[in-house]
């Protein structure tokens, strides 16, 4: 596309009725993204529904092979299968695609972009740009300012992931199963593999028998390397689903090349774009999903030395970020904005 320069592009959202789709619509509206027209697509189940944008009810249409005629920018969030099938068609019709699924993230031809970290990789795009995994975005955006000045050699993280990452139906399952639990009713999980209310479980993706890591953990490991442009960084993750609606939290420990202090980390993060320090030891007030929900910024706190590293090169901290915003829709819209401004 002409990258939407000028009066505004014709923009399509694929998966407009989903948890991320709804936030994409809201982000475009709140950030006053310049667009000539917004077209909303979902499955046949949603055809005929309407969704509100800039004070008007817009129709949701069934996604078909002809949906992209005249579209210049297409924001996809309808799962990998839909992206694999329809994103190439959108590109062929002349659109630039920003894809929230994992379908193209590791394709060397496809930029995997967090605008605060690697906006320069957008320059070489060939029509498809990938929006990274939500945990990857939320964990590494605050680490980038540190990595730039004192290379992170090793990174370990444990996640506390919200329902929203598994879509709108999983959020509903959390609400419904919590209600059932409190009322003493039995509830059969429909979306997630285990009881969700007052419980937590290892992330609901496939375990690779060769490594013992689940797909979510593998994504975080591989995507961190690609986004940082650092194939050497050693990463390990344990991803867990917790009964929280829409913000992911993570306990992170990283080891730098040179010694580093918590004060230096605070100093670097105070100025960092997209990050907010919430690090009040006196009040024991640190990042919480309740505070991160609905916020653009990733909250960072509990910044301290990892005392198991006698060399003083390691830091532990805790982050919380809205999975639907910076972890998905907001990052995608920021990519679209970066494309416009070049």
> Taking CB under 6 A as the rule, does residue 162 contact ligand A2P?
no
By C-beta, is 46 or 249 nearer to ligand A2P?
46
Q: How far apart are CA 139 and CA 152, in angstroms?
A: 13
Q: Is 135 a catalytic residue?
A: no
Annotated catalytic residue, options 125, 147, 203, 248: 248
> Taking CB under 6 A as the rule, does residue 63 contact ligand A2P?
yes
Q: How far is CA 197 from CA 39, 205, 246, 266, in A?
A: 37, 19, 15, 36
Among 1, 3, 8, 43, binds ligand A2P (CB under 6 A): 43
> Taking CB under 6 A as the rule, does residue 168 contact ligand A2P?
yes
End-to-end Cα, the chain, rounded Å: 13
> Taking CB under 6 A as the rule, does residue 165 contact ligand A2P?
no
Q: Is 248 a catalytic residue?
A: yes
Smallest gap from residue 271 Cβ to ligand A2P (A): 34
What is the Cα gyration radius of the chain? 20
Half-sphere exposure of 336 (CA within 13 A, CB side): 32
Cβ atoms of 228 and 132 within 8 Å: the answer is no
Which region, judged by CB under 6 A, interacts with ligand A2P, from 167-175, 200-208, 232-240, 271-279?
A: 167-175
Among 4, 15, 115, 132, binds ligand A2P (CB under 6 A): 15
Q: How far apart are CA 241 and CA 192, in angstroms?
A: 10
Q: What 3-state class would DSSP assign to 61?
A: strand
Q: How far apart are CA 287 and CA 301, in angstroms?
A: 6
Smallest gap from residue 39 Cβ to ligand A2P (A): 13
By C-beta, is 60 or 303 nearer to ligand A2P?
60
By C-beta, is 37 or 62 nearer to ligand A2P?
62
> Taking CB under 6 A as the rule, does residue 301 contact ligand A2P?
no
> Taking CB under 6 A as the rule, does residue 90 contact ligand A2P?
no
In the window 195-254, what residues touch ligand A2P (CB under 6 A)? none
Strand partners, 315: 254, 305
DSSP string for 219-274: HHHHHHHHHHT-TT-EEEEE-EE-S-SSEEEEEEEEEESS---HHHHHHHHHT-TT
> Taking CB under 6 A as the rule, does residue 17 contact ligand A2P?
yes
Interface with ligand A2P (CB under 6 A), residue total: 17
- Residue 106 tokens read as 């590791």
Smallest gap from residue 102 Cβ to ligand A2P (A): 13
Angle subtended by helix axes 330-341 and 19-30, to nearest 10 = 40
> Taking CB under 6 A as the rule, does residue 327 contact ligand A2P?
no
Which region, judged by CB under 6 A, interacts with ligand A2P, from 16-24, 150-158, 219-227, 273-281?
A: 16-24
> Taking CB under 6 A as the rule, does residue 78 contact ligand A2P?
yes
Q: What 3-state class would DSSP assign to 335?
A: helix
Smallest gap from residue 19 Cβ to ligand A2P (A): 4
| Backbone phi, psi, residue 294, to 5° | 85, 0
Task: Name the site residues for ligand A2P (rule: CB under 6 A).
Answer: 15-19, 21, 42-43, 45-46, 63, 78-79, 82, 167-169
Catalytic residue numbers read: 134, 248
């Amino acid at each position: 596309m002409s990258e939407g320069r000028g009066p505004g592009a014709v923009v399509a959202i694929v998966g407009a009725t989903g948890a991320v789709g709804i936030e994409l619509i809201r982000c475009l509206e709140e950030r006053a993204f310049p667009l000539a027209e917004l077209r909303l697509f979902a499955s046949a189940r949603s055809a005929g529904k309407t969704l509100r944008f800039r004070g008007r009810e817009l129709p949701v249409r069934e996604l078909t092979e002809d949906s992209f005629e005249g579209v210049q920018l297409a924001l996809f969030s309808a799962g990998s299968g839909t992206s694999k099938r329809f994103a190439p068609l959108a590109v062929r019709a002349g659109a630039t695609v920003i894809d929230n699924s994992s379908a193209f993230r590791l394709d060397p031809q496809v930029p995997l972009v967090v605008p605060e970290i690697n906006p320069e990789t957008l320059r070489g795009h060939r029509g498809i740009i990938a929006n990274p995994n939500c945990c990857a975005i939320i964990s590494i955006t605050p680490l980038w300012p540190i990595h730039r000045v004192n290379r992170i050699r090793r990174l370990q993280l444990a996640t506390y992931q919200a329902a929203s990452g598994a879509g709108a139906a999983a959020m509903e399952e959390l609400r419904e199963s919590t209600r059932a639990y409190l009322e003493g009713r039995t509830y059969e999980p429909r979306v997630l593999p285990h009881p969700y209310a007052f419980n937590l479980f290892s992330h609901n993706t496939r375990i690779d028998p060769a490594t013992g890591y689940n797909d979510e953990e593998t994504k975080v490991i591989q995507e961190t390397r690609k986004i940082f442009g650092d194939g050497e960084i050693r990463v390990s993750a344990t991803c867990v689903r917790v009964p929280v609606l829409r913000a992911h939290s993570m306990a992170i420990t990283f080891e730098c090349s040179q010694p580093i202090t918590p004060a230096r980390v605070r100093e670097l993060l105070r100025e960092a774009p997209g990050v907010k320090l919430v690090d009040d030891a006196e009040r024991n007030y640190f990042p919480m999903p309740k505070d991160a929900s609905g916020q653009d910024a990733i909250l960072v706190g509990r910044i301290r030395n990892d005392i198991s590293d006698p060399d003083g090169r390691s830091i532990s901290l805790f982050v919380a970020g809205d999975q639907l915003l910076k972890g998905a829709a907001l990052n995608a819209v920021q990519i679209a904005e970066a494309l416009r401004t070049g």
